[in-house]
Chain A
């Protein structure tokens, strides 16, 4: 796998880090969040499949481990760099051209609300090639179509190596669609975001 200069440069020039994941992704996300510096110079958007009505302390758990402020997204929140944004449960999160979020309660996609595809597709529309998107462990195929759209728009797309993922289906679906430019282990992705 080519993890040379090209990928590092593209990571450094991207304005937004998009992370999608489901079952098995939480622990990895926590590791990312622990190492991301306060002056990352990018906005971080996390779409993790979440159950509705389940009062989770995800926001606090991330905040306690992060050098950056962590916000669960409210409708029309402006996207600022050096902030971690969490997609709320029971809404889809979309990114608007003016650089802010809008939410949507339309039907679940892949049995999921938030769906990773919805956020990734709208990010491709708004940011084009200015994102780095990472698709992690998960037990369904959500995120693959969105990752492909980001890749076609010129963004840097990475899938977690299925052998390295607790649940391989999600990154595997992206690989099958040829949506992931790079297939990396969690440790390799960690190295990239710390480079």
Chain B
């Protein structure tokens, strides 16, 4: 079924955004509206709720909000999504960082952890695993719980394995997993230097200093003003010459931040922090 959103008005979306902000402290006002509208229409359809019921539940049903948050944010992700990006990351970023004593990496908006484990597998391949630490953050506690488990369905692993083959790193993705029935668990030594934690890009601040920040396909849900706010946060979270990787269709548009980040790979939107302010 197609998600039909024609019965939701712009005013209703604004009303709901205000309500969520007031009652739960989550601010979606600078999220891309067309996508947000589709997500809200989807919640109404899945939960079989009227708009009034949705508001009622958001105010009066204590457990409902986490559910709502999970449905409203897009948690579709893949391991080694965009093989050309992972090749560039390997050749242009990790080879540079391999001279460092410690490499701290932040995967911002990590959802169920697919990107974090992709990074861990790649670091392991390069012999950098023990010098690196990856922080995976998301606003959504339910997906973070999934991420910590590191268990994926075999069906998904099969499609991720195709991505991995296209990266040309050698070996097979499944070398990193123990499979049982229809599930695959990532090897525990790959999980040793990973921490998953809640962080809201809209409202939370700097929590560490990183050599690499990966935030891919998160900006697409943000309006440009919010993108700039988060770019400021990333700039302040990066060490000198630290790297920022955005999604393949996400570019830095603001003149202010074009001066602060050098595009080292324009096709894959890989940037490096330059200078001081």
Q: Measuring CB to CB, which residues of chain A are less than 8 angstroms from any residue of chain B?
A: 53, 55, 73-76, 88, 90-91, 94-97, 102-107, 109, 117-118, 121-122, 124-126, 145-146, 149, 152
Give min CB distance, B159 to chain A, whole Å: 9
Q: Are A104 and B163 in contact (CB under 8 A)?
A: no
The size of the chain B interface, using a CB distance under 8 A, is: 36
Residues of B within 8 A of A149 (CB): 4, 6
Q: Are B34 and A105 in contact (CB under 8 A)?
A: no
Residues of B within 8 A of A105 (CB): 74, 76-77, 217, 220
The answer to whether A96 and B249 touch (CB under 8 A), given A104-B74, A121-B6, A145-B4, is no
Q: Are A75 and B6 in contact (CB under 8 A)?
A: no
Give min CB distance, B27 to chain A, whole Å: 18
Tell me the interface secondary structure of chain A in the complex. mixed
Count CB-based A-B contacts (< 8 Å). Answer: 84
Q: Are A109 and B2 in contact (CB under 8 A)?
A: yes
The answer to whether A95 and B74 touch (CB under 8 A), given A53-B162, A76-B224, is no
Residues of A within 8 A of B224 (CB): 76
Q: Are A75 and B219 in contact (CB under 8 A)?
A: yes
Residues of A within 8 A of B38 (CB): 94, 104, 106, 118, 121-122
Interface string of B1-30 (1 = CB under 8 A from A): 011111000100000000000000000000
Pick from A88, A104, A145, A146: contact of B35, CB below 8 A: A104
The CA-CA distance from A48 to B230 in the complex, in Å, is 32
Q: Are A74 and B250 in contact (CB under 8 A)?
A: yes
A-B CB proximity, top 8 nearest: A94-B34, A145-B2, A102-B32, A103-B220, A122-B34, A106-B74, A75-B220, A104-B35
